[in-house]
Amino acid sequence: MCGIIGCVGHGTETTDVLLDGLSTLDYRGYDSAGVALSNGTVDVVKRSGAIEDLVSAVEASPPTGPVGIGHTRWSTHGPPTDENAHPHVDCPGEVAVVHNGIIENYEALRERLRAAGHTFESDTDTEVIPHLIESERDDGADPETAVRRAVERLEGSFAVAAVLADSDAIFAARRDSPLVLGIDDGGDRRRYYLASDVPAFREYTDRVVYLDDGEFARLTPEDWTVTTLAGDRVEKPVDTVEWDPEETGKAGYDHFMAKEINEQPRALRQCLSERVDELDGEVSIGDLAYLNPRGVQLVAAGTSYHAALYGAQLFRAAGVPATAYLAHEYATGTPPIGDELVIGVTQSGETADTLSALREASARGARTLAVTNVVGSTAARECDDAFYIKAGPEIGVAATKTFASQLAALNTLTIGMVPSKDDREAIAALRDLPADVQQVLDESNAAAVAEQYLDSEAYFFIGRGLQYPVALEGALKMKEITYKHAEGFAAGELKHGPLALVTSETPVFAIVTGDGERAQKTIGNVKEVEARDAPVVAVTDGASDVSRYADHVLSIPESSPQTAAVLANVQLQLAAYHTAAKLGRPIDKPRNLAKSVTVE
């Protein structure tokens, strides 16, 4: 969601570093942005709208100072206006704060502060924080103590960063919302960074420190420290980010989404590397192979939930009872745990709903496993085990290559935990998967199909078995980036209600792979919609005769049932992308959406 950037040690270049960081973070989704610099005073410039609007405002009235923080806001409390944009300041304008998350007790705090004479300028929950710091300063607290005491009074989720007029430090704290430090102290000049995500400062350093919940950081031009909120020193490891900053560029593509769709063969190779050994017919997942779960529960949200549905089917087919839960429903319900393994599927490792579900499972005594893309993420650190999908950085808001890598990772997990004599075929298909995806990318006619149906009233997607989660994902991609109505269904459900929506203006994308019972039954569903004059787009490997009943065919190579789902999904990604491109949509930044959803 919102993005935070901070830096110290850059002198006159601080503003440029902050603006570059904010531009890099804009993939997270935002509707306003701002910066604050400290140099005996606090200079704040902020604007609603695009970062380009902020840049113009900064050029008109440049803020100065060697210490600064910046923010991209995704509105929760109050509309996107200049007043509601971050950073927020106290009454005399000597404290500036940026914040991700939600302060649950902000109304009570605001009323107490108003009663004490404080004046508020915005609708946000964040604005109480600089006023709390001001109040502590009025009572004689030094800058660091004032920030600590203010943070201790907050309830809810937050990543907070603050600068003060009479301090050369950035103070920051986190609870349930990510913060990472960037460390650049190898030369004569020390420079330190703070951000909600590594790409914000990756071009300057690859050395990072991930903050945990309840930790407090202090960055100055000379040093960095991490403590608990109570002030006890915490020794933190400095990790190295392995990916190159150029990986977050568009590499000549019009959109990040197009680049990331085309990166899927490489992402899959990375995911499967050193895990799949076709020669020996084995999958290697390290110590996770010995978990031997009696049952599996998967928790996730959004695209990752569709991967979880797919994973649950894999485990059930292997003889292990498994259920996928929407994470935000799991944490407030009472599903049985027993000795089951709880797997959290989360691209960022910071999804608030999924983290809550994993914490609830852990509190009930379950073993937890994070399937995530981000090394050092909160899910990876808090779970008992982590299994990385290794897809590389994904910038586009609509997930593409990470979904494919999640499906591949869940295949390797299932085979590794529940080995079977039938695994050799699946392992061979996994080996061929990157090349098969490349074939789809090279030969797809999705752009021409998209052109045919730009004016459609709605789009429907149907599939059975492992193709059902792909149908859901195809519909999600279509609605996310085209703003067109789209729905995914289990194919057999059409006749139980959704068929009433089918008309000649509603193309139906039917995923039909293989020629078994499920394929034949899905063909029966295709005939149902064909009889109602609905155009049919078949996504198929050609094993069945579904093409006889289709207006258009999106072909995929023959593969195993497990990997056919990945291949079908690539065609649906391309269909959604080309539809959105032809409609002129802002593909990488869909309205109202954010890349990393860190509030519940």
- Strands 536-540 and 508-512, by their bridges, are parallel
Residues in the chain: 600
Query: Quick check: helix, strand or coil at residue 489?
Result: strand
The answer to whether 595 is a known catalytic residue is yes
Q: Which of 2, 7, 271, 383 is catalytic?
A: 2
User: What tokens appear for 351 in the block?
Assistant: 């999804």
Cβ atoms within 10 Å of 27's Cβ, excluding its own: 23
CB atoms within 10 A of CB 253: 14
> For the residues of 140-184, what is the DSSP string, one character each?
T--HHHHHHHHHHT--EEEEEEEEETT-S-EEEEEEBS--EEEEE
CA distance 308 to 12: 48
Rounded CA separation 17/37 (Å): 12
- Buried-state track 201-225, b at ≥16 Cβ within 10 A, e below 16: bbebbbbbbbbebebbbbbbbeebe
Beta strands 207-210 and 32-38 are: unpaired
Q: What is the CA 579 to chain-centroid distance, rounded?
A: 23
Q: What is the DSSP string of 184-242?
A: E-SSSS-EEEEESSGGGTTTT-SEEEEPPTTEEEEE-SS-EEEEETT--B-----EE--
Phi and psi at residue 537, to the nearest 5°: -110, 110
Q: How far apart are CA 446 and CA 451, in angstroms?
A: 9
Q: Which of 401, 479, 484, 595 is catalytic?
A: 595
Residue 308 and residue 321: Cα distance in Å, rounded? 14
Q: Is 479 a catalytic residue?
A: no
Helices (H) and strands (E) in the chain — how many of each?
17, 26
List 372's β-bridge partners, or say none. 346, 388
Contact between 485 and 476 under an 8 Å Cβ cutoff? The reply is: no
Chain-centroid distance of CA 363 in Å reads 25
DSSP state of 87: P
CA pair distance 226, 235, nearest whole angstrom: 7
- Report the C-alpha gap between 401 and 434 in whole angstroms: 12
**CA atoms within 13 A of residue 9's CA, in its CB half-sphere:** 20
* DSSP label of 591: T
Q: Compute φ and ψ for 173, nearest 5 degrees.
A: -150, 155
Helix (H, G, I), strand (E, B) or coil at 442: helix
Residues that are catalytic = 2, 595
